[in-house]
Amino acid sequence: MRVVTVNMGAETVKAALVDVDDCAVGVLVHHVEPRAPSGGCREAVLRALRVVAPDPASVEAIGHRVVHCGPFRESVVIDDRTEAALARFSQFAPRHNLAALEGIATTGEIFPQRPMVAACVFSTDEERQIAEETARVVARRTTTWSA
């Protein structure tokens, strides 16, 4: 499974294209794009996505690092309910969560109909962990959908 990971930092957008299979996780492309610290993330996200995923059709899922996942105790598929909850809890990590929500909206435009996951991770190996969480949640959800 090819997963794009997006980590909206206070001053950068970190994006990666990661290949996840049963045995390994490999970062194929990694890119850090500066962004304005006072918002305006959309253009930075678009520039980063053009670098890591020039062929959007090859991407199967998107994982977003979310600093404060609100009521969710584990990584979760993003839908309207998830986005609303993340917005409500943005007060606890406003710089990161508001940027994450803008990143979610932008990637949703680029990758319509692809599952997106809010990965609640705290790690120095974020791309790998976000990709693993995304693949796990999408696989679980896909199994549930097809059952």
Mind listing the pLDDT tens digit for each residue in 46-101?
999 999 999 999 999 999 988 877 788 788 899 999 999 989 888 887 777 888 89
**CATH number of the domain bearing residue 28:** 3.30.420.40
Neighbours of 143 (CB within 10 A): 9
For residue 137, give the nearest of 64, 77, 69 by alpha carbon. Answer: 77
CA distance 110 to 43: 12
* Confidence at 121, pLDDT banded by 50, 70, 90: low
- The confidence score (pLDDT) of residue 74 equals 81
Q: For residue 27, which phi and psi values (nearest 5 degrees)?
A: -80, 120
Give the count of domains, the chain. 1
Nearest to 88 by CA among 103, 112, 105, 72: 72
Domain carrying residue 8: 2-146
**pTM attached to this predicted model:** 0.82
List phi, psi (to 5°) of 105.
Answer: -60, -45
In the predicted structure, residue 34 carries a pLDDT above the cut 50? yes
Q: Is the dihedral of CA 106, 94, 35, 73 positive or negative?
A: negative
Q: What is d(CA 99, CA 137) in angstroms, rounded to the nearest whole number?
A: 22
